Structure 1
Amino acid sequence: MAEFPRIRMVGLAGLLVQFGDKMSEPANRAAIAFRAAIDTQNWPEVRETSTSLVSTFVSADLAATAPEALTEKLQALVGTTDWFSAPLPDGRTLWEIPTLYGTDAAPQLEEAAQAAGVSPETAIQELSSARVRVLTIGFAPGQPYTGELPPHWNIPRQQALTKSVPAGALVVAIRQLIIFTNASPTGWRHVGQTAFRTFRPHHATPFALSPGDELCFPSVSTAEFDDIMQGDTSGNGGAQRQVLA
């Protein structure tokens, strides 16, 4: 990673601090930790910050703010620590989200297991015991990309799209899991179904998840899942929430 971090202009919209050119745990850690550090600076020219898988975006009006001056500030902050091994911010959340694997509710579990080289039973055991990080939010409001799973889950996307998976669908590809915000077509394989809602427009905090949060997907039975669907009105889908120090 000797060529990173790298700072680039994004037109006049702001600056992008890149910590890698492909997904890796250290680069994602760096992006999340660096964003948190920028937010503590309260620089007046910075309008907002966000992260992608391996980058931090700093929104600023570069027509009104000299890009060189903001770049200098960012370079100085970059030099204060090794961001690739920096601790993740405090106040993150761990969610344990009950998940129904397989059945007609998530019909591509066996196909995904075969692609990963494991049995369906092993796939459920591995996915239900995994603890993954929200790497970034994207594609739809509040929708998390989470990972990384073990290397044998580096399965490709499908060549053809599934016409639609429902809101709360847990899908897998390229060592990552996504919980879908809305019903949507996808090339990722539908392996589990949750009642968790990632986007809650009428809540004070519409996005349930933030980059750096952690998720587990414990397995539940069809009967348990039906009870959750019938009884939950919060959008948590029976999930348990814990704040991480």
Structure 2
Amino acid sequence: MTETDLNPEALPAGPDGVLVRFALTPDPAAMAALEVLVAALEAAPPEGVVEIAPALVSVLVRFDPARTRRAALARAVLAEARRIARERPAPPAPKRRWTIPAAFGGRHGPQLAELAERAGMSEEACVEAICEADLRVLTIGFAPGQPYIGLLPEAFDIPRLSELTPQVPGGAIVVAVRQIVLFGAPSTTGWRQAGQCGFRTFMPARSEPVLLQSGDAIRFERADAAEVESLLDSADGLGGAKLETLT
């Protein structure tokens, strides 16, 4: 995508929403621009805004019709989106970092070999690239607490499988289109499973059911299979993960 390809638009969404999007596909430039826009909206919400719900390249802004009008809100948010598209400021630095132990390959990552082949590297190099990548939670969606994490190096710009895998386990680390999804529970997927961890992204009975936040930095730390196996059923659902405050 070139500098001139970011053309944000504002669309009506339901009776009380405005959807602002930078692109129709998960392009890195569009995702970076959205991070900046969401941070700006959260720091200084326009009058009447009651909810800011980001996705990968778009954000839904809901408003109170008694306090503002859709047209006024759309103009304000679109003006800021256009400024960001024009100036391309860097995304805000993450405030927190999660380090998550994970096992790769074997029964914990049955499609690692296929993923590595598609990425043009050895399995060892593939795991190293995943663990060394500067990753963030791009958005949370599809299922409660489920993160989309990225971006991996360009070698991982690999399409989804042509057929669905009927089920991967909770804690599965699956990869496609330079992104990682970390499943909190068993799920069907069209992404390749490279690893598994004991971190549970959503536990209704936990005091904080959803632990990850959009913008959190993520670092996967390679662990041996036996260690991860012992962490799969950890009572707190952390699976040995550690949280560090960065700012």
1:58 corresponds to: 61
**SS across alignment from 2:75:** helix
Find out whether 1:135 has 2:168 as its counterpart.
no
**Aligned-pair CA distance for 1:62:** 5.2
Q: Is the 8 A contact 2:8 2:78 kept in 1?
A: no
1:68 corresponds, among 63, 66, 71, to: 71
**Which residue number corresponds to residue 30 of structure 2?**
27
* Contact kept in structure 2, 1:136 and 1:146, CA below 8 Å: yes
Deviations 1:117-159 (A, max 9, x none): 2121221221222221111111111111111111221111111
| Separation in structure 1 between the aligned mates of residue 165 and residue 81 of structure 2, nearest angstrom | 42
Alignment partner of 1:158 is 2:176:
no
Structure-2 change in CA distance of 1:190 and 1:75 (3 Å) = closer
Tell me the alpha carbon deviations over residues 52-110 of structure 1, each in whole angstroms, 9 at most, x when there is no partner: 11112101255984222212332444466568633444663211110110111221111
Report what 2:246 is aligned to: 244
Normalised to the residue count of structure 1, the TM-score between the two structures is 0.89
For the pair 1:227 / 2:208, whether they are aligned, the reply is no
RMSD: 2.3
- Residues 77-226 of structure 1 mapped to structure 2, 5 A cutoff: 77-78=80-81, 85-89=88-92, 92-226=95-229
Given the superposition, is the C-alpha separation of residues 77 and 155 from structure 1 closer, same or farther in structure 2, using an over 3 Å criterion? closer
Q: Is the 8 A contact 2:109 2:193 kept in 1?
A: yes
Q: Deviations over 1:153-175 (max 9, x none)?
A: 11111111111001110001111
Does structure 2 retain, via aligned residues, the 8 Å contact 1:101–1:191? yes
2:175 partner letter: V
Secondary structure, in 3 states, of the residue corresponding to 1:23?
A: coil
Sort the Cα spacing of 1:84 and 1:213 in 2 relative to 1 into closer, same or farther, 3 A.
farther
What amino acid does structure 2 have at the position aligned with 1:226?
E
Q: Is the 8 A contact 1:88 1:212 kept in 2?
A: no
Q: Secondary structure at the match of 1:128?
A: helix
Deviation (angstroms), 1:204: 4.4
Amino acid in structure 2 at the alignment position of 1:108:
Q
Deviations along 1:179-224, one digit per CA (max 9) or x if unpaired, are 0121011111111010001113234432211221111112111222
Pair 1:176–1:84, CA change in 2 (3 A): farther
Q: Amino acid of the residue matched to residue 95 of structure 2?
A: R
Segments of 5+ residues of structure 2 without an aligned counterpart are none
Which deviates more from structure 2 when the two are superposed, residues 39-48 or residues 216-225?
39-48
CA distance in 2, matches of 1:125, 1:11: 44
SS at match of 2:166: strand
Q: Percent identity?
A: 38
**Inter-CA distance 90–148: structure 2 relative to 1 (3 Å threshold):** closer
